[in-house]
Structure 1
Amino acid sequence: MLRSVVVLCARIDHVVTSGTFSLDGGTWDVDNNVWIVGDDSECVVIDAAHDAAAILAAIGDRSVRAILLTHAHDDHIDAAAELQAATGAPVLLNQGDRMLWDAVYPSAPPTGTLSDGQIVEVAGIALEVLHTPGHSPGAVCLSAPGLQTVFSGDTLFQGGPGATGRSFSDFPTIIESISAKLLTLPAETVVRTGHGDTTTIGAEAPHLEEWIARGH
């Protein structure tokens, strides 16, 4: 399924892919959001989940500037190698998640890193890397003020924070990340998540205290 949101000369394409997520000895069926930001000539892919063929179909004949990973849980990276081989694009990941990446790709490191404050440019749009640990140590969000959007990966969903009940995650850390890095964005900012429906910063911000209470 492919949807497009057009803003100025750039657009956001949305592909939903299906597969599994495995960690700590368990495996679950999941649907993932893959976001493609760009114009008719170039783009970046945000998360490479499950189905490289579906992602490549959405890319079409555009040049892929980079494959940006919000974190390295296997459901967000399991198509990364195939996508990189098909496009030649660098795969960028925050180094805090290398242990999760190495569990899937032990002999092929990511091409480069995503660091807090780093800017990735594509089609006249600047994506700012926000390091938001908690769901995983190297989790990042990608803020695109020119699109009034933040790509939140699994850090913030409609209805609350991402899960913190598995290895390498921490609830107080994710709350601090959301408070400091996401809820400070303009209220109208659209939150495009790693799974499920979009939301806005304005819709989620009033519930911070509820999340904190629920987490204790």
Structure 2
Amino acid sequence: MFFDLNVKGDSLGNNVKIAIQASDYGWEHINFSYNQNDFKNALTLRDELNDSLDGIIDFDFTLEIKSTNVNEIRKHVNNFRSRASCISVIGGDLKVNRAVLENIKIDVLSRPYLNRFDSGINQVLAKEAVRNNVAIELCFKDVLRTYLSPRAKVISNFRDIFALYRKFDFPLILSSRAESVFDIRTTHDFCEVFKQVGLDEDDIARSFDTAGAILEYNGDRENLIFNGVRRVDDEA
């Protein structure tokens, strides 16, 4: 199943347009991502989106936190954890990258390489991603919207992350971060780009499985006592 957990959320009308385009291109589930200032209001769009997209594509919402203040990030995570099917934090700052990967309540560290000359991930951080089951997200738009040396740097950072991924096997997800219908690509084209920059078919399939697992895990989070232990109804 093709999951995209990072399609930039907008107005109701624009969300419907981009969702329909995504469906036409083979995507089966998208998450509309909103920052910490807009997320609460975005949730009010759910019913109207359900009516407009019923039978077309599955959707949900991602809280995408953007901040360099670690305490502020923790505050937003605690405030929205029960209401978000996915919580993602934009990386790039090393102290943010580390704090996110050490926090089991966060689902995704997005773009740890952002505005950096390196990937933003090292062996220590890769181990933290594994320990706390925090996925590292690479965004297709960072290749699509860059050219020449900036694009080469993004691809180089991707490959550095792939090398660590193969060594440590941390969760990895691939997303579009599309902001409009012009950023959406077919699932075939999306996968082919990531094959060209270093992943194989199994890696890409696992990334979609990981995205689906994040949604499934958070859908049942209220019944989780701690990792690996879940509350069940005893009907005996």
TM-score (norm 2): 0.33
Structure richer in strand, relative to its length: 1
Structure richer in helix, relative to its length: 2
TM-score (norm 1): 0.35
